[in-house]
Amino acid sequence: MTTTTNSPGAGDTTSGPRAPRLGVADSRSRSIELLGSLTMREIRGQYKRTTLGRLWSFINPLATIGIFTAVFSTIMKITPPVGTNSGIHAFALFLGAALLPWNFINNAVMGGMNALVGNAGLLQKVYFPRWIPVIATVLSLAVTLCFELLVLVLIVAIVGGPSVLLYLPGLIPLILLTTVFVSGIALTLSVLLVYFRDTQHFMALLMQVWFYLTPIVYPISLVAEQEQRLADGGHSVPLETLWKLNPAFRITDAFREVLYDFSWPSWGNLLGIALWAAASLLMGVLVFRTFSGRVVEEL
Amino acid sequence: MSVLDLMGSRRPASGHTAVEVENVSKSFRVYAERNQSLKAAVLRRKRGSFEEFWALRDVSLQIPEGRTFGLMGHNGSGKSTLLKCIARILEPNSGSIRTRGSVAAMLELGSGFHPDLTGRENIYLNGSILGMSRKEIDRKLDEIIDFAGVGEFIDQPVKNYSSGMYVRLGFSVSIHVDPDILLVDEILAVGDMQFQERCREKFAQFKDDGKTVVVVSHGVEEMRTFCDEAAWLDHGKLVEVGPAAAIVDRYIEAGHNARAVETGGTRHGSGEILVERVELLDAAGTDERTFRTGDELTIRLHYRAEKPVDRPVFAVSVNSIEGVHVWSHHTWDAEYIPAQLRGSGSVDVRIPALRLQPGTFDLNTSVVDDELSHSFDQWVKAVRFAVVPGSPRESGGLVVMGSTWGNLQPPSPLAISGASAQAAEAREDADLASRASGTP
């Protein structure tokens, strides 16, 4: 047996040159690589055991568009505005241009929120930065959004002409900013869910309210009409202004500007989305940083 | 096993500290009434009442680079918590842990496998979770697949794998991460014998490469042979750090002294004659439940016969705690059969020297008729007793044989001779002593 004292190697540590812990750049590139892998896992896993596979990511929004068109356009007679440059006048496309980004917001918020709880087994066994599964979920849904947008672009190009293709680069900042916006919310909620499990049910409700508060199945002009009607009745309520504070309005409106109006997203919308994204991310990072240390043991 | 032992413990450490744990404390919240609902939180302005449970209290230790270091202790001693803190899965409340080099933890094999992805896809996924880059995985892919031995299943979704294949693939990915410090939790017993052998080889290679391994295990024998050094934790506090073999011995001894030994056991039989009570007497004649290897031991069976019983045959047997039948002796084989017994009395079995390895054993008794066909009384697990290290001190298994090493041919000077207790024992053998006298 070797002779070893009760504190093995004592005294050697201070003198020995200490190899730096994983370099910051190294660990960052690893995190990014892992983020990529987990995102791929989400994307590949999504429709893995289904016969139709990825087709489901087209069928789902198409079905929703179909249903909403039937209810809101055919039965309730909501008329969409005419697309400014495209000349399109179709409720289904007016709806689709906003519904796809909304679906992304909705799924990313709900999915990202569940990412910590859902990956509990993994988080309790392996160390990696805890934000990775949350962001990976959001990113995988952003990829789904891109696929869906591709189909929509194809349809509007057929209906309204190929000029929409010119404005497609406008979608890039929109998708990026929207992703940042939902990431912040998802980070916050993912931690909250660990501590309060009924966040999930609460959010399911809230998202439904949010959906109808956002001009998706109806044009914002209807809100202006209501405001006018109230003003006529002597009640001055700045309904339209209030409505426009909603970040989801900014986002869906900007997507409509590109995909329905065939134009660049307006600076107002871009700026609004950017501000919301920054605020959301700031909140997400702060909350996550504060609470993520003990999250694993609370899972 | 013992080959690994020799390779490990004789190899010098580099002198650096791989893991430095400084005054680490970690508490968990144990909720008396957990409420994870917003309503309750708002109403009571708190999240249920909880108590702080201290899993680790002010633990400081250093794990030298290039060593295999064991963390041992009972359930709840904090050893797994400490491992998770080193792995950064848990954050200590206070204190710091510094690690030198990359760290990978093998806490659960195949955690993070996606059941619907193929084995190959999961290697990439799990590899990157464990910290490998894509290029690294590309390079090691064949080796990983080969080591896992899953063959053509590699392109099947892992949900179709047998549990063995699943674990093997998980182990294979983990071991190929090739970190500077490997943290292992109770997984040395995966797969079949053949795979275990390969795991041991891989660990040995790991140690040879100067990598540090930190192991948590319940298996004390495994600790003794596998680890160079060990830390013993009890209720979150560090009891002792030192050479694995010495720590394991003291741990076994302390553990057995502390435990209540009377198990009660189960009894069946027709009951005309019963063994009412068993005494385990040491050399001084006191009833003990802990003995050292090599101790003298007398088993005294106190019987009572309700009515006269002709030619009863008494038997005692010893099982290891895992149920392995280690030894038995009955009075029929010993040709020691009374003509008739009635009333109360006792009978002894004397063991001059207890030839059992340290461990826990159960003693069973029985009384049967002289045709060994009718059972008067069977008392299973009548008493439990512990064996702690004594002499001779041999390396593993259930029994000691009083074996000695010697007669090295051709004769060559010994680098180590008689430094350990067992070698000192061996020296009692006059023949060997004279042979080794060249290097006292």
Of the listed ranges B121-125, B257-261, B327-331, the one predicted with least confidence: B257-261
Q: In chain B, positions 10-39, which contact chain A (CB-CB < 8 Å)? A: 10, 12-13, 15-17, 20, 28-29, 36-39
Residues constituting chain B: 440
Least confident of A4-18, A184-198, A221-235, B259-273: A4-18
pLDDT digits (tens, 9 = 90+) for A51-106: 777 788 788 888 989 999 999 988 888 888 988 888 889 999 999 999 999 999 99
| Same domain (yes/no): B348, B383 | yes
| Cβ neighbours of residue A188 closer than 8 Å, sequence gap 6 or more | A283, A284, A287, A288
Same domain, B203 and B63: yes
The one-letter code for the residue type at A234 is G
Query: Do the Cβ atoms of B111 and A197 come within 8 Å?
Result: no
State whether residue B90 sits within 8 Å of chain A by CB. Answer: yes
Residues B16 and B50 in one domain: yes
- Selected residue with higher pLDDT from A257 and B170: A257
Looking at the predicted structure, is the pLDDT value of residue B11 above 50? no
In chain A, the percentage of residues whose pLDDT exceeds 90 is 56
ipTM here: 0.72
Contact B72, B251 (CB under 8 A): yes
Domain assignment present for B131: no
Long-range contacts of B2-5 (CB under 8 A, 24+ apart): B2/B225, B2/B395, B2/B396, B4/B200, B4/B203, B4/B204, B4/B225, B4/B226, B5/B224, B5/B225, B5/B226, B5/B395
Contact between B105 and B179 (Cβ < 8 Å): no
Judgement on whether residues B270 and B355 belong to the same structural domain of the protein: yes
CATH number of B44's domain:
3.40.50.300
Does A26 fall in a domain? no
Find how far residue A214's CA is from the centre of its chain. 15
End position of a domain, from candidates B235, B257, B279: B257
Tell me, what's the pLDDT at B35? 55
The pLDDT of residue A99 is 95
In the block, tokens 């047998």 appear at B162
Examine the domain organization and report whether B290 and B214 are in the same domain: no
Q: How confident is the model at residue B188 (pLDDT cuts 50, 70, 90)?
A: low
Q: Name the residue facing B133 among A33, A38, A296 (closest C-beta).
A: A33
Residues B190 and B270 in one domain: no
A/B interface, count of CB pairs below 8 Å: 139
Residues in chain A: 299
Residue in A closest to B7 by C-alpha: A1
pLDDT of residue B262: 46
> Which of A10, A49, A128 shows the shortest C-beta gap to B62?
A10
DSSP single-letter state for residue B118? B
CA distance A41 to A24: 25
What spatial distance separates the first Cα and last Cα of chain A, rounded to whole Å?
44
For residue A234, count CB atoms less than 10 angstroms from its CB and return exposed for 0-12, middle for 13-18, buried for 19 or more: exposed
* B63 and B187 both lie in a single domain: yes
Contacts of A195 (CB under 8 A, 6+ apart): A291, A298, B36, B47
- The pLDDT, as a whole number, for residue B8 is 39
In a domain, A126, yes or no: yes
Q: Same domain for B299 and B270?
A: yes
Residues B215, B429: Cα–Cα separation, whole Å? 37
Q: Quick one: average pLDDT of B297-310? A: 91
Q: Can you spell out the DSSP letters for B283-311? A: TTS-B-SEEETT--EEEEEEEEEEEEEES
pLDDT digits (tens, 9 = 90+) for A230-279: 999 888 889 899 999 999 999 999 999 999 999 999 999 999 999 999 99
What residues in A contact B246, CB-CB < 8 Å? 1
The number of distinct structural domains making up chain B is: 3
Q: Measured between CB atoms, does B423 come within 8 Å of chain A?
A: no
Per the structure, the complete domain to which residue A132 belongs is given by 33-298
The answer to whether residue B165 is domain-embedded is no
Last residue of a domain, one of B203, B234, B257: B257
Amino acid letter for position B329: H
Residues of B (199-228) whose Cβ lies below 8 Å from A:
228
Interface test with A, best of B5, B11, B38 (most A CBs within 10 A): B38
pLDDT tens figures, B309-340: 999 999 999 988 887 889 999 898 888 999 99
Contact by Cβ (8 Å): B83, B71: yes
Quick one: pLDDT at residue B174? 84
**What is the rounded CA–CA span in Å between residue B385 and residue B291?**
8
Of A1, A34, A126, the CB nearest to B245: A1
Place of tokens 């029985």: B366
Alpha-carbon distance of B21 to B90, in angstroms, equals 14
Asked if B395 contacts A1 with a C-beta cutoff of 8 angstroms, the reply is no
Q: Using an 8 Å Cβ cutoff, are A39 and A31 in contact?
A: no
**Which range scores top for mean pLDDT: A172-181, B39-48, B185-194, B404-413?**
A172-181
Does B191 lie in the same domain as B312? no
- Domain match, B76 and B224 both: yes
Query: Is A5 domain-assigned?
Result: no
Q: Which residues of B touch A29 (CB under 8 A)?
A: 133
In 3-state terms, what secondary structure has residue B117?
Answer: coil
Q: How far is B86 from chain A (nearest CA, A)?
A: 10
Window from A31-45, B219-233, B341-355, B423-437 with minimum mean pLDDT: B423-437
Strand partners of residue A235: none
Q: Can you give the pLDDT at residue A20?
A: 36
Same-domain status, B86 and B192:
yes
Place of tokens 């859902």: A118
Residue B347's domain comprises: 266-388
Q: Which long-range contacts (CB under 8 A, 24 or more apart) does A263-267 make?
A: A263/A84, A263/A85, A263/A167, A264/A167, A264/A170, A265/A170, A265/A173, A265/A174
B113: pLDDT strictly greater than 90: no
Dist. CA B183–CA B207, nearest whole Å: 13
pLDDT for the residue B2: 38
Q: Are B316 and B429 members of one domain?
A: no
Contact state of A45 with B117 under an 8 Å Cβ cutoff: yes
Cβ–Cβ contacts within 10 Å for residue A204, how many? Answer: 11
Residue of chain B whose alpha carbon sits nearest to that of A15: B16
Q: Compare all CA atoms of chain B with the CA of A43 and give the residue at the minimum distance.
A: B117
Q: Identify the band that residue B21 occupies on the pLDDT scale cut at 50, 70 and 90.
A: very high
Of A5, A128, A195, the CB nearest to B129: A128
Residue B140 belongs to some domain of the structure: no
Residue of B nearest to A198 (CA): B37
If you average pLDDT over each of A179-188, B66-75, B261-270, B370-379, which comes out highest? Answer: A179-188
B262-277 tens-digit pLDDT? 456 777 777 889 888 8
